[in-house]
Structure 1
């Protein structure tokens, strides 16, 4: 995955494990995780050793460990209680999914272990190991709710837990993106636009309206649309309308007027003119062939 914006990615948060945990003297071996781990210390304290640094986490603090990074944790207090969430952020197949925790031994080769992408590959997000959040109370409540619902072990509660973890991921991205909030609200990912056009084929749909829905100026929207789809938005919409009209000509007995109306053309004359400009022959020829 090349270095690019987190805002252009397909994110699909998914809980793999969630629980309230309590340990007496506790120490992990050096290890990596294959997903993302969010911890909240409820009682006690522990030491996180990661990338040559050591962090001491006390009650009331959150930490976030990403995939593929060798780390070790050890309790400082005689006992420790914390909340733990293991989650994926990106789509993955069950067949290729490994255990959440992989101990580091002499045969360890990070290139042979399938993990979720480390967020450092993206240019516009930087989440530290020890979190300093604007809304820690909100995060604490969201974690508690996610864990509680996930441990009820039924489909509806699991679905509710996924809603909470999606909100947690959204909060982390908003908190630690390096982009201004104005740019967050103006993501250049326009993958939703073709489906939006399909649903609106029979209606008048302007570039200005689509740009407004995307929170962009007309020129900014048109530039990014052409970059992503190879055509300007007006030309792309016209192509969808003519392709849909061709399907209707071949598969129905609708009149040219009805087809023109259902595909968003202002008149049969306009429909016929645009059709001949693109295909080199009038729509009536398709009807005769059919």
Structure 2
């Protein structure tokens, strides 16, 4: 199987994302059913569809119920035990972030390996899935709450497709894995926004910046909207969204410029002035830097069929 899977603490860019599902199933656990302590040789998601039980990852204990998603990578020791009264229904998904789909037959897969009972004494390894760079980063911890029908639909479809070994179904699963990872990115971002008072404030700042994108940027807005010092507010915004408030504001301003170039007959200089750019030269240079086109070329290309 071609391609090299990054080590567990490596990052991979979205441009290199080429996921391959090596195993997927849906498991209705008997009461008290347990597996592990063990390790896997690729990455794995365990998503709890129903029921409850316990999860232990490198000695960290979790009470697991419907909607809990667990992630671990190669060499991460883990154990799951279903409740006796309300046992798990689990989806298990083994995958690589970058690999080749075989022309025929099944994807190469190595079954999990059991570990000795004294496994908590083993070395603790980094355990986080990271794709991309800010502001478009996906960073999945080993445990996250993921409620909703969308995830169950994706896990179910992947498990169903895995029963077929032909390249077509492997290709389907590649597309579904990309959908799954994008859904997780949206979930992680929503949780960071609503998980704290600062998260809610930064969400409000983001909305206000977008609403004021036609105006000149005022750094004092950050103090006015948050009652924090501008530097502190800017640092919180960057932590949550992966870019500075000014960078986000300019992206919104350029988004307005794109719409005006396509939908209006205003001259480029008039658009620059309407959107409060400091000069036509700055507008044109920034627009080309961010989009790869001059404003006139963008207008011309955007009106073609």
TM-score by length of 2: 0.48
2:110 to 99, 104, 109: 99
Runs of 4+ in 1 over 6 A off after TM superposition: 1-4, 120-123
1:136 to 141, 148, 166: 148
Which ranges of structure 1 fall in alignment gaps of 5 or more residues? 112-116, 187-215, 223-290
Asked if structure 1 preserves the Cα contact closer than 8 Å seen for 2:33 and 2:81, the reply is yes
- Counterpart CA distance in 1 for 2:182 and 2:48 is 21
Secondary structure, in 3 states, of the residue corresponding to 1:90?
A: coil
Q: Say if 2:129 is the partner of 1:119.
A: yes
Deviation at 1:15, TM superposition (A): 0.5
- Counterpart CA distance in 1 for 2:91 and 2:183 is 18
Deviation at 1:168, TM superposition (A): 0.8
Secondary structure, in 3 states, of the residue corresponding to 1:68?
A: coil
Q: Say if 2:93 is the partner of 1:85.
A: yes
The alpha-carbon distance between structure 1 residues 30 and 4, as it changes in their structure 2 partners (threshold 3 A), is closer
- Counterpart CA distance in 1 for 2:183 and 2:290 is 27
The alpha-carbon distance between structure 1 residues 127 and 43, as it changes in their structure 2 partners (threshold 3 A), is same
- Counterpart CA distance in 2 for 1:176 and 1:122 is 14
Q: Say if 2:153 is the partner of 1:147.
A: no
Task: Count how many residue pairs are aligned between Structure 1 and Structure 2.
Answer: 186
- Counterpart CA distance in 1 for 2:62 and 2:37 is 15
Partner of 1:286: none
- Counterpart CA distance in 2 for 1:40 and 1:219 is 42
Asked if structure 2 preserves the Cα contact closer than 8 Å seen for 1:62 and 1:131, the reply is yes
1:52 to 56, 59, 62: 59
Partner of 1:206: none
The alpha-carbon distance between structure 1 residues 105 and 90, as it changes in their structure 2 partners (threshold 3 A), is farther
Partner of 1:170: 182
Which has the higher Rg, Structure 1 or Structure 2? 1
TM-score by length of 1: 0.50
Asked if structure 2 preserves the Cα contact closer than 8 Å seen for 1:37 and 1:87, the reply is yes
2:73 to 66, 74, 80: 66
Secondary structure, in 3 states, of the residue corresponding to 1:166?
A: helix
- Counterpart CA distance in 1 for 2:46 and 2:97 is 16
Task: Output one character per residue of 1:159-208: Cα deviation in whole Å (capped at 9) or x when no partner.
Answer: 2222112211232245447762779xx9xxxxxxxxxxxxxxxxxxxxxx
- Counterpart CA distance in 2 for 1:30 and 1:105 is 7
Which ranges of structure 2 fall in alignment gaps of 5 or more residues? 1-5, 103-107, 190-238, 249-285, 293-305
